[in-house]
Amino acid sequence: MKMLPVHCCCTPDKRLGWVPVGESYRIGPIRFMTERPSWAFDPAKWVLTLEEPRHNPPRYNPPRYIETEVARLTLSRGGDTIIAVNSNDYPIEEWRKVRGFIEDREQQL
Protein backbone atom coordinates (compact mmCIF):
# COMPACT_ATOMS: atom_id res chain seq x y z
CA MET A 1 0.00 0.00 0.00
CA LYS A 2 1.35 3.40 -0.99
CA MET A 3 1.63 6.06 1.73
CA LEU A 4 1.47 9.81 1.07
CA PRO A 5 2.33 12.60 3.48
CA VAL A 6 -0.47 14.76 4.90
CA HIS A 7 0.54 18.43 4.89
CA CYS A 8 -1.13 21.41 6.51
CA CYS A 9 -3.14 23.44 4.01
CA CYS A 10 -2.08 26.79 5.53
CA THR A 11 1.60 25.91 6.12
CA PRO A 12 2.66 23.34 3.49
CA ASP A 13 6.02 22.84 5.22
CA LYS A 14 4.18 21.36 8.22
CA ARG A 15 3.68 17.61 7.80
CA LEU A 16 1.02 16.03 10.04
CA GLY A 17 1.78 12.44 9.16
CA TRP A 18 1.33 9.73 6.53
CA VAL A 19 -1.83 8.12 5.19
CA PRO A 20 -2.39 5.02 3.00
CA VAL A 21 -3.80 5.87 -0.44
CA GLY A 22 -3.56 2.63 -2.40
CA GLU A 23 -1.45 1.98 -5.47
CA SER A 24 -3.62 3.80 -8.03
CA TYR A 25 -3.99 7.26 -6.46
CA ARG A 26 -4.03 10.36 -8.65
CA ILE A 27 -4.06 14.13 -8.27
CA GLY A 28 -7.56 15.24 -7.33
CA PRO A 29 -10.32 14.60 -4.77
CA ILE A 30 -9.94 11.82 -2.22
CA ARG A 31 -11.72 10.90 0.99
CA PHE A 32 -10.83 8.89 4.08
CA MET A 33 -13.29 7.19 6.43
CA THR A 34 -13.02 8.36 10.04
CA GLU A 35 -16.03 6.49 11.45
CA ARG A 36 -17.62 3.29 10.19
CA PRO A 37 -21.40 3.05 9.77
CA SER A 38 -23.21 1.48 12.69
CA TRP A 39 -26.57 0.78 14.23
CA ALA A 40 -27.13 2.11 17.74
CA PHE A 41 -29.76 0.86 20.14
CA ASP A 42 -30.78 2.96 23.10
CA PRO A 43 -31.20 0.44 25.94
CA ALA A 44 -31.86 3.22 28.49
CA LYS A 45 -35.00 4.16 26.56
CA TRP A 46 -36.22 0.58 26.69
CA VAL A 47 -35.80 0.46 30.46
CA LEU A 48 -37.44 3.82 31.10
CA THR A 49 -40.40 3.32 28.78
CA LEU A 50 -40.64 -0.48 28.89
CA GLU A 51 -41.27 -0.42 25.14
CA GLU A 52 -40.77 -3.49 23.06
CA PRO A 53 -37.65 -3.30 20.86
CA ARG A 54 -39.80 -3.41 17.73
CA HIS A 55 -41.34 -0.05 18.76
CA ASN A 56 -37.96 1.53 19.32
CA PRO A 57 -35.99 0.98 16.10
CA PRO A 58 -32.22 1.27 16.15
CA ARG A 59 -30.64 4.53 15.02
CA TYR A 60 -28.38 4.37 11.97
CA ASN A 61 -25.11 6.27 12.27
CA PRO A 62 -23.77 6.88 8.74
CA PRO A 63 -20.04 6.75 8.01
CA ARG A 64 -18.06 9.96 8.40
CA TYR A 65 -15.30 11.05 6.04
CA ILE A 66 -12.48 13.54 5.62
CA GLU A 67 -13.02 15.08 2.18
CA THR A 68 -9.80 16.48 0.71
CA GLU A 69 -7.43 16.16 -2.25
CA VAL A 70 -4.12 14.78 -3.42
CA ALA A 71 -2.19 17.79 -4.73
CA ARG A 72 1.20 19.10 -5.73
CA LEU A 73 2.52 21.27 -2.90
CA THR A 74 5.51 23.58 -3.06
CA LEU A 75 7.56 23.74 0.11
CA SER A 76 9.07 27.08 1.09
CA ARG A 77 12.32 25.41 2.14
CA GLY A 78 14.20 24.77 -1.07
CA GLY A 79 11.16 25.26 -3.29
CA ASP A 80 10.69 21.51 -3.74
CA THR A 81 7.37 20.34 -5.15
CA ILE A 82 5.91 17.17 -3.68
CA ILE A 83 2.75 15.13 -4.12
CA ALA A 84 0.86 15.05 -0.82
CA VAL A 85 -2.57 14.94 0.76
CA ASN A 86 -3.86 18.38 1.72
CA SER A 87 -5.12 18.45 5.34
CA ASN A 88 -8.02 20.70 4.23
CA ASP A 89 -8.29 22.29 7.70
CA TYR A 90 -9.15 18.98 9.39
CA PRO A 91 -7.46 18.87 12.81
CA ILE A 92 -4.97 16.17 13.77
CA GLU A 93 -7.65 14.59 16.00
CA GLU A 94 -9.69 13.72 12.88
CA TRP A 95 -6.67 12.38 11.00
CA ARG A 96 -5.90 10.05 13.92
CA LYS A 97 -9.25 8.33 13.26
CA VAL A 98 -8.23 7.34 9.72
CA ARG A 99 -7.23 3.67 9.60
CA GLY A 100 -3.51 3.39 8.83
CA PHE A 101 -2.67 7.05 9.57
CA ILE A 102 0.83 7.44 11.04
CA GLU A 103 1.36 10.69 12.91
CA ASP A 104 4.69 12.49 12.62
CA ARG A 105 6.35 12.66 16.00
CA GLU A 106 8.25 15.80 15.01
CA GLN A 107 5.94 18.13 13.14
CA GLN A 108 8.14 20.13 10.83
CA LEU A 109 7.90 23.86 10.35
Does 99 map to a domain?
yes
98 pLDDT higher than 70: yes
Does 46 map to a domain?
yes
- What is the total count of domains within the chain? 1
- Which of 3, 10, 13 lies closest to 107 in space, CA to CA? 13
Does 3 map to a domain?
no
Predicted local distance difference test score (pLDDT) of residue 39: 82
Do 95 and 16 meet the contact criterion of CB atoms below 8 Å apart?
A: yes
Overall average pLDDT of the 83-101 stretch: 95
Helix, strand, coil share of the chain (percent; to 5)? 15, 40, 45
Does 108 map to a domain?
no
Cα–Cα dist 57/69, whole Å:
37
pTM for this model (two decimals): 0.76
Q: What is the pLDDT of residues 3-56, one digit of tens each?
A: 999 999 888 899 999 999 988 889 999 999 999 998 876 665 555 555 555 555
Could you tell me the residue range of the domain that residue 47 belongs to? 8-103
Does 14 map to a domain?
yes
